[in-house]
A and B are shown apart, each in its own frame.
Chain A
């Protein structure tokens, strides 16, 4: 395998590590919080992270399909709902709103990292890969933001 592809593989492996970190964080917090809905949400988030990880691993296994690197993905609109959230502590008293603010912020940070990398990468294939990863994080963030709107912004 060429160095070129190896670089791309490294990017994906790094993304996998990111998903693993998030998974560990959510599992940890789920063991701490008391509110059953917060616990269930954290467990679901942890499971989602494993799903994201599996998707990335699938990319590696399939031998880095050109479909992805050529940018064949459905772009989602960034609602930027959580851009100004202050992440709350996931302590024993954390409610669902607190869990969502933390999760939305994490997805935003991941998205921003990949988007920044895409912005400074000259190689088109690598850039497309970063854009794909950024879009994936945006998709996750969007799902959480929609849930946040339903639950918290009932009258807003």
Chain B
């Protein structure tokens, strides 16, 4: 009976991802609803294979319009039927939303995830019912078979496949047509065609999706191959863990036999072909072709030496052609459309498309098919939608557990067999796992090694033993017990495995380890030398992610726990052990701790900065005299610069007993805290409280003493200072370098803020201000300009908002106050006759990726326009003023920072450098961390005459848990009370008002106390840990 004509087709994805997220329930609900309303005669319901967009599953497409609904639940079905199928309206809440502006994208063809894709092997996946051969036929299925049987000789077919340039999609990339030719020309009457569907890579589901979504494309490809090579029998080796794939294959084979596409005398010709399924038991090594053949034969899955290659002696010793699922699935299209069509897609040496299972830390996880030659960046950012939660892209692993990782600097690399190899990765069969800044690359390599070494078949000793030994070494490193010699050991083992293993499993098992060593050696060194896991993933090395993320290692869980108990003085004392600027950091810290907080994985991170401010504010009226922790010493130390780095260094040295003098160029102390950060963020009287504390430790500050003008380093040495710490900051703005920069009305950002904070603010009443830049200086300048009376403040930035280096909270606050942001614009000229009247800007578009993983802005020709302005504030970057530097023997880097070693020692003996002058522009807490460390380095230098890498390890405290965590499961992060935007734009009063005691203490109880869990999980004794730390923290 002929199928009825339907007015609409509802396609529900039945791929693995959507099935896992509940598409069967959606399917059942839709069937029931259509039946209940009597619509099942006019609306056809189809369960398809994978549509690719797994992150949005369950996915539903309604034709003829192509309406795309995502994350559909069974409860949504009645509304879909009523609105879309009955009334013809779109249910907007179920449409895909464009991530940046949350704009609804209702139609399938408009969704960016699909825009750059080209579907050849996946052409039917998600469009047809995979269990119905007629749908495959309706989409042109088996036309290629008919064409070869009726009009091509086997030689013609081989030549056509050769001419297409198709390379094996299993990973090795050998020319498919050539492989077929070998089998075709191999002597023998009995030959076999085998499909390798033993997809074993973690995170890979390309082959599975093709089989589940379009099994006939594989069958047709194998049929054509069989005809070309002269085989009458074939096997699909599919792992038993793919039950749906096997079920659909069985149905497809039965239907193909019924329709005369499989069996004897196919389509009335004398060509016969019988196809069997062999279920694999899940051994990874059976993905290797000789092991796979052994497994089909019923033997243990072990590889054997090649040659002879399977094309000569394969299954049961007969010539055998083995290809991957994806390779076969391409064949029908090549035959139908011609070799030239296929060769015109992709690159010259890697024609066609590549299919990737895009997984890991990427917004749009799923299955993608792209033309070869597309860049990695396009796959990850344009199709994949980038990294979730604003985290930074770190690397992508291709080629599964035997592949390698690729870093941000290679995002412009075209994806093809040869280009990926050049950067130390492999195409592999199509797994692509994205990792972000929170992934430890040592642990990442260990994960793949754990998998690969366990899958060794044991035949080759280097593989069997080498993988295990290498895993032991890596485990040692992740536990902080490694040595630098371990790196050499890893390399030696890798060489042995590569040279002495029979198959790719043994040869390539070290791949992920070697590629992480190549690109992330600094992380290995951090684990080995610093006993630190920078990503905070290695359990043994990470007491809690917050304190691990803090540059100064402040004991966050301890002061949160004590604040919760109302023990503010004790909490603050713990804070001060590593950071003397609690009042300051409670107001201006970027809070690296919060970005890594584990509570943030559940709902929102603990409001650590707000709690810190509350804690410190409670003790504001109690002057602190820092304790002396060393005996008095006679060696004098000079610190140049009274910013956060210099003040901290001076404090720690004074605590150790050294006489310390700070030489400060300005009439005030605090550095950028005083003359960079405006009062509305950090009131000067609050800052002064913490500077006074440091002075109480015995530190002397001499003001208005500028290096180079009032004294030299030689002078200091002559005056008897035994060590000098340069903490001179980066107080000079970078120039725009364009025409008109010398006009009246141009005020460089850093200098503008300094003058303002020293009480010499320009009158901006009624002026139109343009700030150029995207960092914190730009935002501070813009918000300050508003407060100084500007009628209009525009910030121009050449990239997009997402890429602005300024803190998100600051950008948001500026927006609230009325600062106008203009993205993707770049100034080319400042206009005006003597005085500024405007800025000529040119629109930008985003081009290639730079080595940081951000897209480079490129000017749009002819898009120049003038933005009117009376004042222009360039704030594009800053540098250290090095005009004093003559022949002091102190070397600097190109970015104007000092060349320093791990002990912060410059190239001149006895002179150290820290803070922005060593790091480049950074935060207060980063400067504090260096201040702590340099004091240890100076101390060691003054005792031994050598600068050695310092450690600063005040003990962690592990206070008791005094609340029931369960009661705070549903508690929410408080919002910081602030002045209203309209009120604050005309005053320099502090914007943030601080949490109430109740809100602060309640918030503390949301803390998951990772520190206590660490003690429990690692089985460590609290007293022993604290004692060990105390031992390493004694001053020399």
**Once the chains bind, are B734 and A97 in contact (CB under 8 Å)?**
yes
Q: How far is it, in angstroms, between the C-alpha of A151 and the C-alpha of B895 when the chains are bound?
A: 5
Q: How far is it, in angstroms, between the C-alpha of A41 and the C-alpha of B829 when the chains are bound?
A: 27
**Once the chains bind, are B894 and A41 in contact (CB under 8 Å)?**
yes
**Once the chains bind, are B773 and A37 in contact (CB under 8 Å)?**
no
**Once the chains bind, are A97 and B921 in contact (CB under 8 Å)?**
no
Interface residues in B797-817 (C-beta closer than 8 Å to A): 797-798, 805-806
Q: How far is it, in angstroms, between the C-alpha of A154 and the C-alpha of B737 when the chains are bound?
A: 15
- Contact (A156, B774) CB under 8 Å given A79-B856, A79-B858, A96-B894: yes
Choose one: A37, A80, A88; the contact of B893 (CB below 8 Å).
A37
Residues of A contacting B776 in the complex (Cβ-Cβ under 8 angstroms): 155
Residues of B contacting A155 in the complex (Cβ-Cβ under 8 angstroms): 773-778, 805-806, 875-878, 921
A70 proximal to B (CB < 8 A): no
Residues of B contacting A147 in the complex (Cβ-Cβ under 8 angstroms): 894
**Once the chains bind, are A154 and B858 in contact (CB under 8 Å)?**
no
**Once the chains bind, are A150 and B774 in contact (CB under 8 Å)?**
no
**Once the chains bind, are A79 and B847 in contact (CB under 8 Å)?**
yes
Q: How far is it, in angstroms, between the C-alpha of A147 and the C-alpha of B895 when the chains are bound?
A: 10
Task: Give 1 or 0 for each of B783-803: 1 = CB within 8 Å of chain A CB.
Answer: 000000000000001100000
- Contact (A152, B891) CB under 8 Å given A35-B882, A77-B847, A80-B859: no
Residues of B contacting A156 in the complex (Cβ-Cβ under 8 angstroms): 772-775, 797-798, 876-877
**Once the chains bind, are B737 and A88 in contact (CB under 8 Å)?**
yes
Interface residues in B889-928 (C-beta closer than 8 Å to A): 891-896, 920-921
Q: How far is the CB of A70 from chain B (nearest CB, A)?
A: 15
Q: How far is it, in angstroms, between the C-alpha of A156 and the C-alpha of B892 when the chains are bound?
A: 23
A122 proximal to B (CB < 8 A): no
A36 proximal to B (CB < 8 A): yes
Q: How far is it, in angstroms, between the C-alpha of A90 and the C-alpha of B856 when the chains are bound?
A: 28
Q: How far is it, in angstroms, between the C-alpha of A134 and the C-alpha of B500 when the chains are bound?
A: 49
**Once the chains bind, are A77 and B850 in contact (CB under 8 Å)?**
no
**Once the chains bind, are A154 and B920 in contact (CB under 8 Å)?**
yes
Interface residues in A22-48 (C-beta closer than 8 Å to B): 34-37, 41
B39 proximal to A (CB < 8 A): no
**Once the chains bind, are B735 and A154 in contact (CB under 8 Å)?**
no
Residues of B contacting A150 in the complex (Cβ-Cβ under 8 angstroms): 895
Task: Give 1 or 0 for each of B762-782: 1 = CB within 8 Å of chain A CB.
Answer: 000000000011111110000
Task: Give 1 or 0 for each of B471-504: 1 = CB within 8 Å of chain A CB.
Answer: 0000000000000000000000000000000000
Residues of A contacting B739 in the complex (Cβ-Cβ under 8 angstroms): 84, 86
Residues of A contacting B882 in the complex (Cβ-Cβ under 8 angstroms): 35
Q: How far is the CB of B804 from chain A (nearest CB, A)?
A: 9
Q: How far is it, in angstroms, between the C-alpha of A38 and the C-alpha of B775 when the chains are bound?
A: 26
A83 proximal to B (CB < 8 A): yes
Residues of A contacting B805 in the complex (Cβ-Cβ under 8 angstroms): 154-155
A-B contact count (CB 8 A): 87
**Once the chains bind, are B891 and A77 in contact (CB under 8 Å)?**
no
Q: How far is the CB of B523 from chain A (nearest CB, A)?
A: 22
Q: How far is it, in angstroms, between the C-alpha of A37 and the C-alpha of B878 when the chains are bound?
A: 16
Interface residues in A127-142 (C-beta closer than 8 Å to B): none
**Once the chains bind, are B877 and A153 in contact (CB under 8 Å)?**
yes
Q: How far is the CB of B698 from chain A (nearest CB, A)?
A: 36
- Contact (A154, B891) CB under 8 Å given A79-B847, A86-B737: no
**Once the chains bind, are B829 and A154 in contact (CB under 8 Å)?**
no
Task: Give 1 or 0 for each of A81-116: 1 = CB within 8 Å of chain B CB.
Answer: 001111010000001110001000000000000000
B602 proximal to A (CB < 8 A): no
Task: Give 1 or 0 for each of B943-966: 1 = CB within 8 Å of chain A CB.
Answer: 000000000000000000000000
Task: Give 1 or 0 for each of A57-83: 1 = CB within 8 Å of chain B CB.
Answer: 000000000000000000001111001
Q: How far is it, in angstroms, between the C-alpha of A149 and the C-alpha of B892 when the chains are bound?
A: 18
Residues of A contacting B989 in the complex (Cβ-Cβ under 8 angstroms): none
Q: How far is it, in angstroms, between the C-alpha of A23 and the C-alpha of B773 when the chains are bound?
A: 34
Residues of A contacting B859 in the complex (Cβ-Cβ under 8 angstroms): 80, 83
A146 proximal to B (CB < 8 A): yes
Choose one: B737, B797, B806, B896; the contact of A37 (CB below 8 Å).
B896
Choose one: A34, A36, A83, A86; the contact of B892 (CB below 8 Å).
A36
Q: How far is it, in angstroms, between the C-alpha of A154 and the C-alpha of B489 when the chains are bound?
A: 39
- Contact (A152, B894) CB under 8 Å given A79-B858, A84-B828: no
B738 proximal to A (CB < 8 A): yes
Q: How far is it, in angstroms, between the C-alpha of A155 and the C-alpha of B891 when the chains are bound?
A: 24
**Once the chains bind, are B878 and A154 in contact (CB under 8 Å)?**
yes
Residues of A contacting B772 in the complex (Cβ-Cβ under 8 angstroms): 156
Q: How far is the CB of A73 from chain B (nearest CB, A)?
A: 15
Residues of B contacting A77 in the complex (Cβ-Cβ under 8 angstroms): 847-848, 856, 858
By beta carbon, the residue of chain A nearest B844 is A80
- Contact (A153, B876) CB under 8 Å given A86-B737, A97-B735: yes
Q: How far is the CB of A77 from chain B (nearest CB, A)?
A: 5
By beta carbon, the residue of chain A nearest B796 is A156
Residues of A contacting B878 in the complex (Cβ-Cβ under 8 angstroms): 154-155
Q: How far is the CB of B604 from chain A (nearest CB, A)?
A: 28
Q: How far is the CB of B135 from chain A (nearest CB, A)?
A: 44
Residues of B contacting A146 in the complex (Cβ-Cβ under 8 angstroms): 850-851
Task: Give 1 or 0 for each of B734-752: 1 = CB within 8 Å of chain A CB.
Answer: 1101110100000000000
Residues of A contacting B894 in the complex (Cβ-Cβ under 8 angstroms): 37, 41, 96, 147, 151
Residues of A contacting B921 in the complex (Cβ-Cβ under 8 angstroms): 154-155
By beta carbon, the residue of chain B nearest A104 is B737
**Once the chains bind, are B775 and A154 in contact (CB under 8 Å)?**
yes
Residues of B contacting A36 in the complex (Cβ-Cβ under 8 angstroms): 885, 891-892
By beta carbon, the residue of chain A nearest B876 is A156
Most chain B C-beta atoms within 10 Å of own C-beta, residue among A86, A97, A149, A150: A86
Residues of A contacting B797 in the complex (Cβ-Cβ under 8 angstroms): 156
By beta carbon, the residue of chain B nearest A87 is B737
**Once the chains bind, are A101 and B737 in contact (CB under 8 Å)?**
yes
Q: How far is it, in angstroms, between the C-alpha of A95 and the C-alpha of B733 when the chains are bound?
A: 13
Q: How far is it, in angstroms, between the C-alpha of A88 and the C-alpha of B736 when the chains are bound?
A: 12
Q: How far is it, in angstroms, between the C-alpha of A29 and the C-alpha of B942 when the chains are bound?
A: 41
Residues of B contacting A35 in the complex (Cβ-Cβ under 8 angstroms): 882
Q: How far is the CB of A116 from chain B (nearest CB, A)?
A: 16
By beta carbon, the residue of chain B nearest A151 is B895
By beta carbon, the residue of chain A nearest B739 is A86
Q: How far is the CB of B53 from chain A (nearest CB, A)?
A: 30
Q: How far is it, in angstroms, between the C-alpha of A78 and the C-alpha of B856 when the chains are bound?
A: 11
Q: How far is it, in angstroms, between the C-alpha of A6 and the C-alpha of B885 when the chains are bound?
A: 52
Q: How far is it, in angstroms, between the C-alpha of A95 and the C-alpha of B883 when the chains are bound?
A: 10
Residues of B contacting A37 in the complex (Cβ-Cβ under 8 angstroms): 892-894, 896
By beta carbon, the residue of chain A nearest B857 is A79
By beta carbon, the residue of chain B nearest A38 is B894
Residues of A contacting B829 in the complex (Cβ-Cβ under 8 angstroms): 84
Residues of A contacting B847 in the complex (Cβ-Cβ under 8 angstroms): 77, 79
Residues of A contacting B876 in the complex (Cβ-Cβ under 8 angstroms): 152-156
Choose one: A80, A83, A84, A154; the contact of B877 (CB below 8 Å).
A154
Q: How far is it, in angstroms, between the C-alpha of A97 and the C-alpha of B876 when the chains are bound?
A: 13
Q: How far is the CB of B854 from chain A (nearest CB, A)?
A: 10
Most chain B C-beta atoms within 10 Å of own C-beta, residue among A95, A154, A156: A156
Residues of A contacting B798 in the complex (Cβ-Cβ under 8 angstroms): 156
**Once the chains bind, are B848 and A85 in contact (CB under 8 Å)?**
no
Q: How far is it, in angstroms, between the C-alpha of A35 and the C-alpha of B892 when the chains are bound?
A: 10
By beta carbon, the residue of chain A nearest B828 is A84
Residues of B contacting A86 in the complex (Cβ-Cβ under 8 angstroms): 737-739, 741
Q: B residues engaging A (CB < 8 A)?
A: 734-735, 737-739, 741, 772-778, 797-798, 805-806, 828-829, 847-848, 850-851, 856, 858-859, 875-878, 882, 885-886, 891-896, 920-921
12 extra interface residue pairs, beta carbon distance < 8 Å, beyond A36-B885, A37-B893, A88-B737: A36-B891, A37-B896, A80-B858, A85-B737, A85-B738, A86-B737, A96-B894, A96-B896, A147-B894, A153-B876, A154-B878, A156-B774
8 smallest beta-carbon distances between A and B, as pairs? A155-B775, A156-B876, A154-B877, A84-B828, A85-B737, A152-B734, A151-B895, A80-B859
Q: A residues engaging B (CB < 8 A)?
A: 34-37, 41, 77-80, 83-86, 88, 95-97, 101, 146-147, 149-156
What are some 6 contacts across the A-B interface (CB < 8 A)? A36-B892, A37-B892, A79-B856, A84-B829, A96-B894, A97-B735
